[in-house]
Homo-oligomer: A and B are copies of this chain.
């Protein structure tokens, strides 16, 4: 990790989005604006939730020469400066999305479908955790796992 080390503080991103905003956010920290960084950020926004691999594919449609290494490094950097975040949906690679894209993920471990729910679903739990365990919950970082209705119905029928 060479380009990403050093005192890069993680503060709140600017309210606007777009090329100028990204440039400013980068410059504030002594980082440079590059086409690759804009493309990766655009891809994250367009794809919603995507693995580094998927993001790379998307970016390469506009700029085929961009290397997956750059995608990894850029996602890392964008996360550190607070523009994107990653979520573990269970198996497989983490997925990246916009920082603002906050909600609870429900993953069916039968069919793999990912559903999104508002984060206030976790409010009660978050309060309990804070009170009982002094633990500040990040409700959107990991997915909740279980079984969706479709899979439950199927299983119920076949048993």
- Residues of chain A having any CB pair with chain B under 8 Å: 88, 90-91, 94, 106-109, 115, 117, 121-122, 124-125, 128-129, 132-138, 141-149, 152
Q: Contact between A136 and B141 (Cβ–Cβ < 8 Å)?
A: no
How far, in Å, is A150 (CB) from chain B's closest CB?
9
Prevailing SS type, chain A contact patch: mixed
Q: Contact between A106 and B135 (Cβ–Cβ < 8 Å)?
A: yes
Residues from chain B with a CB closer than 8 A to the CB of A125 are 121-122, 124-125, 144
Question: How many angstroms from the CA of A75 to the CA of B57 in the assembled complex?
Answer: 33
Also in contact, A147 and B121, with CB within 8 A (given A88-B142, A142-B88)? no
Question: How many angstroms from the CA of A117 to the CA of B135 in the assembled complex?
Answer: 11
- Closest Cβ neighbor of A150 among chain B residues: B134
- Closest Cβ neighbor of A106 among chain B residues: B135
Residues from chain B with a CB closer than 8 A to the CB of A91 are 88, 94
Q: Contact between A115 and B90 (Cβ–Cβ < 8 Å)?
A: no
- Closest Cβ neighbor of A142 among chain B residues: B145
How far, in Å, is A4 (CB) from chain B's closest CB?
16
- Closest Cβ neighbor of A149 among chain B residues: B134
Q: Contact between A144 and B129 (Cβ–Cβ < 8 Å)?
A: yes
Also in contact, A142 and B141, with CB within 8 A (given A106-B129, A149-B135)? no
